[in-house]
Amino acid sequence: MNILSLESKLNSIDITELLLKSIGSKNCIELENYVNNKFVVVDYYLKNNIDVAYKNVLDILGVSFENKRASKLLSRISLELCVKNQENLEKCLDILKVAIVYSPGNPLLYYNTGLVLFKLDKLEDSLLYFKIGLENSNTPQDTYLNLIGISNVYSTVKCWVETLYYLNKANDIKPHDSECLCMLALGYTECRRTYLAGTLYNEAIKYSNNDIQKSNVYMNYGHLFAYNGNNRMALECYNNSIKYNPKNILAFQNKLLTMCYNYDGNNTVLYLQHILINKLL
């Protein structure tokens, strides 16, 4: 039987009648056959149409409410659909909330829901989901992701002590993660612990995996020097940031601002920097 014929046969089944037959029955052959055939349809569409696969997994869970295989598939497909629909955050949120109903202990679902809410600027809800994700985490990676999520919320509202608390816990899990080290350095800068921040920035540069990452670290390191009034070192950091990522607009803007503080009467240099920034915008 081809897949279209199988789908047609399954769609013709009266689901209410099927469920009534299965209630109180330890082994309902009709229900078992329906679920098994639905999995065949799901496996087929996983390769070429994830949206149809998603609908069929929901059909399975609509008759086999605690089906572990279907619940795991729903979590996996939901995360893939969020990647596919990442420009539509509200749709992603709806997909993830449905998945959580069937897999309430999955920390990745909570993390991604928290991330979507964070992007929607719903910070209190975002924090709640990250913390539930943290409570449900059973691997270092899941724990790390939710700790980073929590620290991002706190840093957004400038609660720096809370930010540093969760970042240090994340750093214990991944002590050589450049992004975490850079975030820690920024937090300590805001708390006036600039010497410690400088050490962390140097560590972040050392463990950067790519030029974009290294560019971002140097840009933030420049912020530290500018904060301390060391314009020469700030400019050096901004130049390094631009060297590793010539399209880093914020590094150009920070450099231009610092040059104004360090103005030596050379209007040509300032004008050339303006031209470079305008080309990027």
Residue 228 pLDDT exceeds 90: no
Looking at residue 265, its pLDDT comes to: 47
* Distances from the Cα of 272 to the Cα of 68, 269, 278, 279, angstroms: 62, 5, 10, 11
For 86-125, how does the pLDDT look when each residue is reduced to its tens digit (9 = 90+)? 999 999 999 999 999 999 999 999 999 999 999 999 999 9
pLDDT tens track for 111-166:
999 999 999 999 999 999 999 999 999 999 999 999 999 999 999 999 999 999 99
Per-residue pLDDT tens digits for 169-204 = 999 999 999 999 999 999 999 999 999 999 999 999
Residue 18 has what pLDDT? Answer: 85
Residue 205 has pLDDT above 90, yes or no: yes
Which CA distances in Å does 202 have to 2, 198, 199?
61, 6, 5
CA distance linking residue 220 with residue 99, whole number of Å: 38
pLDDT for the residue numbered 43: 94
**Residue length of the chain:** 281
Of all residues in the chain, the percent with pLDDT exceeding 90 is 70
Q: Which residues contact 171 (CB under 8 A, 6 or more apart)?
A: 177, 180, 181, 184
Going by C-beta distance under 8 Å and a sequence separation of 6 or more, which residues neighbour residue 8? none
- CA torsion 15-19-25-31 (nearest 10°) is 30
Mean pLDDT over each residue of the chain, to the nearest integer = 90
Q: What is the pLDDT of residue 217?
A: 95
